[in-house]
Structure 1
Amino acid sequence: MEFESHYAAVSKSARRQAAAVKQSTTRLGASAIAAAALALCATSAYAYDISTSPYLFGDWGGLRTRLADHGVTFNLGYGSELAHNFSGGTDHLTRYTDQWAFGSTVDLNKLLGWKGATFQATITDRNGRNLGADAHIGNNMLLQEVYGRGQTWHLTQFWLDQKLLNDRLDIKAGRVTVGEDFFSFSCDFQNLTFCGAQPGNLVGNYWVNWPTSVWGARVKYRTSQETDAQIGVYQVNPNYVNDEYARHYGLSVNNPRGTTGALIPLEFGWQPHFAGRPGSYKVGVWYNTSTGQDLYEDVNSNPRGITGLAARQRDGQYGAYISLQQQITGTAGGRGATVFLNFSQADRNTAQTDHQLSIGVQYKGPFNHPSDSIGFAVGATHNNGRYADFVRQVNARTGANTVVGDGYEYATELYYSWSPVPSVYFLPNLQYVLHPGGTSQNNKAFVVGLKSGITF
């Protein structure tokens, strides 16, 4: 409102001047768009080998290389996930969901002579339907991991990274996703149990993974050639994980009202080589300064499902994790098998799903196809018994019949990833979910999926 009042007071001549500047800017923008269009049109006349290019559209007539020489690279991609349940739920359905990603990385040393600095900006767009919800399977972990956080546009990355002290100190700040820095893990599988930063699967209301970002900063220090330590501070604001907010303000860089505290993760990493093969070993803890509602106790520390009173407020929420990966066969970084084990534990006072374990193996280069891979994993997600007791008490008091689990949801997935060319992959997969939602009241689900991706 202050800006609008000030703008209304601008003189008539100043307005004419602003209009002239706007017209010039519009012409400049139109010229830039036209130049980009011509460059893209030139792509069709520029020969490239699709069997070796990492991009489906090649080098854009050499434009990509010229821009990269000046520090500017583009990351344009599309990913989709198809899933059909042959058992489980109330209906046997097929559902499709996808994601577009448009990003750019700028090496500010090449572009501006700003040594050690990198800028990253990425926006994403998600669409589609959730098989688990539509078929009423009752699962905790998504059968299509790319679904979620609002099927709309998101500002996913908008950060600056600065390296100092001969690259031993790394400082990063801006709009970031927590999982890209802490408990960073691949997302090759289609079931969410085995995809991305695991703590976000348990406490996703404040640990925010891709594609949602929050304002935050991270400081990382490489203590040796093989070890490092890092700490971060990230804004906790329920608006960022609100689907309705995302539909209206998903691309906004504004800082919305409603911040409740800060998420502070701390992680120690070790990247050894055994027989020349790389490994990654991480251990971390986190603390959320926001207050959290107790799942079972009321304001008087009595069972709130019986009393019906408001929940007790807990000061802070916390957890810990380990993530272990090690290549055990083959050549370093190439063909061979890599095993992994991930475990996360959240506090039982406030987290409805309080711990998760996953183990698996991935083999790169089967059947002499270096770009292909096979993966197999099993995992378990535990439903907090304190919350289950609360729901049962509410059912008894109100006559409701809400189904709630207090055991494990077990997930298994087998996939084969096939890349006909480097820019395209298809990943058919089989998923089996036992006790969806941590209860035997939900029928086991057998799901056939197809995950695919294109890099333009």
Structure 2
Amino acid sequence: MVACNRLIRSRHCLAGLGAAALAVSALGAAEVRADDVATSPYLLGKWDGARKRLAEQGVAFNVGYGHELAHNFSGGTEDLTRYTDQWVFATTLDLEKRWGWRGGTFQFTMTDRNGRDLGADAHIGNNMLIQEVYGRGQTWHLTQLWLNQKLLDDRLEVKLGRLTTGEDFFSFSCDFQNLTFCSAQPGNLVGDYWVNWPTSRWAARVRYHTAADAYVQLGVYQVNPKYVDDHYARHNGWKPNNPSGTTGALIPLEADWEPSWRGLPGAYKLGAWYNTSDGKDLYLDVNHDPRAISGLAPLERSGQFGAYLSLQQQVSGTAGGRGATLFLNFTQADRNTARLDRQLALGMQYKGPLAGRGQDSVGLAVGATHNNGGYADLVRERDARSGQDTVVGGSYEYVGELYYSWVPVPSVYVRPNLQYILHPGGTSRNANALVLGLKFSVVF
């Protein structure tokens, strides 16, 4: 309520709270016992056993709400507070339990996003979103519509339908609020064709388990500029259609190893990708001369590519319980075509930092996103000819974030955070930004 008091004139904020209250009222028709709330991953409990009975019949569902506030105390042109949120409505069917279809799983997910982007409204100039849940059109999205089939004694998995790339490739959590530390990192750099949640496109993924703790996988994802166009999303994002204008396919390849070190879990991923679509060179023209000087069309590059590494390891405590987990993520994109061509993030998360608060956690991370120097050179050369003075980055944007996650019950967390952005947009011409954030989530 404190957040919305500051934004009392925001109809979206009020609508979000109203919708949450309505959902609680509607879904709470079944009796909710206090012991259910204290132990269940759902705020509305076990519904007098109804959830368990549905699960035994192969039906699981999820209704969730996430809310992110941010206020900049420095940086940008003015101090502002902005919020953004997301509703998730999902259903999972175990086809073997439902109809005896061995090894089959069906997933359907719709999402709805609302709110404003602090970085854009305050003119901070940042590369990475301060509120990671913002973006891809503040509207309804068909986020998942797929069938996953296990074969060969469950060693082979084939997944078909409408998929988000980051749910399978470079799969990483979004515990932090700054996008630098959230989800599949390649989507932060080349988001025009590597598309993460909540936007899906037609795709296929094949995964082969080489051992109990290792697998390799290959995917093919449709590349179509309409999927990442906000105007198209507002009118068609919820439809399972196949728009015209496909330019090629994104083909990621990944090897994943999930070992146990001293009894503690880890996840190690090494991957690469190739986009068959042509890409425009950031600096050179069709004659391999500087575009800013010649004024000619950009050189067309045949395909676009990149590689990544993700390391995550719990290093203390008990497996999956209290203790520290370290992570390092690194991605390098094609320097000929990607305006943001490199990202590095490393951090630590500690679960159960206080006695008696086993579900709480604290996180600390630092990261850097590199602006392609070739594009910066292009803009500077254009400005020299036109007399303009465009602010463009040719170096790193550095981000640090610290959060504490309070979990009063398993279905709810309240996560205040502090972010500092050094050289937003990869240039010292943008003032550094100090941001106070608040991330809140509830699963009904």
Please say whether Structure 1 and Structure 2 have the same fold, judged by a TM-score greater than 0.5: yes
For residues 342-398 of structure 1, give each alpha carbon's deviation from its aligned partner in whole angstroms, at most 9, with x where no partner exists. Answer: 000001000000000000000011113111111000000000000000111111222
- Paired amino acid for 2:36: D
1:81 equivalent in structure 2: 68
Inter-CA distance 444–67: structure 2 relative to 1 (3 Å threshold): same
* 8 Å contact kept, 2:67–2:85: yes
1:379 equivalent in structure 2: 367
- Separation in 1 of the partners of 2:193 and 2:32? 49
Runs of 5+ unmatched residues, structure 1: 1-36
- Separation in 1 of the partners of 2:135 and 2:26? 35
1:423 aligns with 2:401: no
- Separation in 1 of the partners of 2:360 and 2:46? 24
1:429-440 correspondence runs (5 A): 429-440=417-428
- Separation in 2 of the partners of 1:38 and 1:79? 18
* 8 Å contact kept, 2:32–2:45: no
1:291 equivalent in structure 2: 278
TM-score, normalization: structure 1?
0.90
**What displacement does 1:273 show?**
1.0
1:240 aligns with 2:210: no
Inter-CA distance 395–167: structure 2 relative to 1 (3 Å threshold): same
- Paired amino acid for 1:247: R
1:72 aligns with 2:64: no
* 8 Å contact kept, 1:43–1:59: no
Question: Any idea what SS the aligned residue of 2:203 has?
Answer: strand
1:441 aligns with 2:435: no
For residues 271-315 of structure 1, give each alpha carbon's deviation from its aligned partner in whole angstroms, at most 9, with x where no partner exists. Answer: 111111111111000000000000001111111111221111100
**What displacement does 1:38 show?**
12
Of 291, 312, 316, the residue aligned with 2:303 is 316
**What displacement does 1:231 show?**
0.5
**What displacement does 1:185 show?**
0.3
* 8 Å contact kept, 2:32–2:47: no
1:397 aligns with 2:398: no
Higher mean displacement: 83-92 or 45-54: 45-54
**What displacement does 1:44 show?**
3.3
- Paired amino acid for 2:376: A
1:239-278 correspondence runs (5 A): 239-278=226-265
Question: Any idea what SS the aligned residue of 2:41 has?
Answer: coil
The structure whose Rg is larger is 1
1:411 equivalent in structure 2: 399
**What displacement does 1:47 show?**
6.9
1:176 aligns with 2:158: no
1:450 aligns with 2:438: yes
Runs of 5+ unmatched residues, structure 2: 1-23
- Paired amino acid for 1:161: N
* 8 Å contact kept, 1:76–1:102: yes
2:337 equivalent in structure 1: 350
**What displacement does 1:206 show?**
0.2
* 8 Å contact kept, 1:43–1:58: no
**What displacement does 1:226 show?**
2.2
1:93 equivalent in structure 2: 80
Inter-CA distance 55–41: structure 2 relative to 1 (3 Å threshold): closer
1:125-144 correspondence runs (5 A): 125-144=112-131
1:122-161 correspondence runs (5 A): 122-161=109-148
Inter-CA distance 86–217: structure 2 relative to 1 (3 Å threshold): same
Instruction: Among all aligned residue pairs of Structure 1 and Structure 2, give the percentage whose two residues are the same amino acid.
Output: 69
TM-score, normalization: structure 2?
0.93
Give aligned pairs, total: 421
1:13 equivalent in structure 2: none
Question: Any idea what SS the aligned residue of 2:343 has?
Answer: strand
- Separation in 2 of the partners of 1:197 and 1:277? 23
- Separation in 2 of the partners of 1:335 and 1:311? 53
Question: Any idea what SS the aligned residue of 1:206 has?
Answer: coil
- Separation in 2 of the partners of 1:283 and 1:258? 31
Inter-CA distance 41–172: structure 2 relative to 1 (3 Å threshold): same
Question: Any idea what SS the aligned residue of 1:55 has?
Answer: coil
* 8 Å contact kept, 1:105–1:120: yes
Inter-CA distance 41–132: structure 2 relative to 1 (3 Å threshold): closer
- Separation in 2 of the partners of 1:389 and 1:438? 13
2:5 equivalent in structure 1: none
* 8 Å contact kept, 1:138–1:437: yes
**What displacement does 1:41 show?**
6.2
- Separation in 2 of the partners of 1:61 and 1:331? 32
* 8 Å contact kept, 2:32–2:46: no
Inter-CA distance 46–410: structure 2 relative to 1 (3 Å threshold): closer
- Paired amino acid for 1:105: T
